[in-house]
Amino acid sequence: MKILVTGAAGFIGFHLINRLLKEGHQVVGIDNLNNYYDVSIKLDRLKEAGIDSIQGFMLSKGISSNLNKNYIFYKCDLQEEEKLNNIFKIEYPHAVCNLAAQAGVRYSLKNPKAYINSNIIGFQNVIEMCRVHNIKNFSYASSSSVYGANTDLPFSTNDNVDHPMSLYAATKKSNELVAHAYAHLYDIRTTGLRFFTVYGPWGRPDMALFLFVKALFNKEPINVFNHGNMLRDYTYIDDIVEGVFRVINNPAQIPKEKTKTNPTAAPYKIYNIGNNNPIKLMDFISTIEDVIQKKFEINFMGIQAGDVPNTFANVDELVNDFNYKPSVNIRVGIQKFIKWYTDYYKIKI
């Protein structure tokens, strides 16, 4: 099966593509390589996957991996409709997984337009390409942030998500609404994946684990918000990718009957992908200290605008539909990240 993955140079996209290639799929990767965080790590992810140069890029040809003949990469922004349409016409994938997005809750307070452009306009362009080119298998990244002000734990896909706490969350909720409309109107099988605090090797430099480990090795203090009173359902990257992989290979079906969450009986589905085992932030920090055998200097601060104090995923539907539940232990996951970090930055512990 040929699968088009947007956000190919991103954290989750990179790992998903590696898994798809390992399983023998053909992959078309798209990424705009923006500078939201250090572009060098995005380029290094591409190199790790065999895309060793973007110099002299030609849209008509793309860049093939020199490690795997089944992988071709295109540098393209999802707002570039004509380029995007050309890629779909050239490659004609069987399935599309949209992982491209402007990430980060806090950054959405500083640069809201980036979220509208990428997460709403870009998303709309991709799903519209699926309609135009008659591609019926469409999966996409949503986020646990859609639960917003919800205080019922664990978060269930049956919960109301009408009170987002950030523009980022609002854009992700809008993706789910647009996906439902396309499923209902055009019979595109759409599946949204609400990710819960993803971490692991090749992770984003703006996320907590990366920031904490970097500060510890640099002997710098860390800022801990809400005075450390946070609960997060940290989910290891391999667990996330396994869930996405199963969804791509088993697209949403038309339900046998209408339900409260799907009253139109459209081929539309939403899943939580979380560890179903939330960890206190201070325990998370203590585990990092224990693995590295160093102590943090901590600046305790109030909660930031847009943050929610607790996340906790109910993954019953993932278990029921796929017989799968994320399970990587937090200590094991942190150890793997630190091993990658010290190798990547050539640090001796």
Alpha carbon distance 174, 186 (integer Å)? 18
Alpha carbon distance 95, 93 (integer Å)? 5
Is 115 catalytic? The answer is: no
Place of tokens 């986020």: 143
Q: Which of 168, 182, 234, 341 is catalytic?
A: 168
**DSSP states along 303-321:** PPTT--SB--B--HHHHHH
**DSSP states along 19-62:** HHHHTT-EEEEEE---SSS-HHHHHHHHHHTT----TT--TTT-
Query: Do residues 195 and 141 lie in contact, with contact meaning Cβ atoms separated by under 8 Å?
Result: yes
Sequence-distant (6+) residues with CB within 8 A of 308 are 145, 147, 148, 149, 165
One-letter amino acid identity for 223?
A: N
Query: Do residues 98 and 126 lie in contact, with contact meaning Cβ atoms separated by under 8 Å?
Result: yes
Which residues are designated catalytic? 168
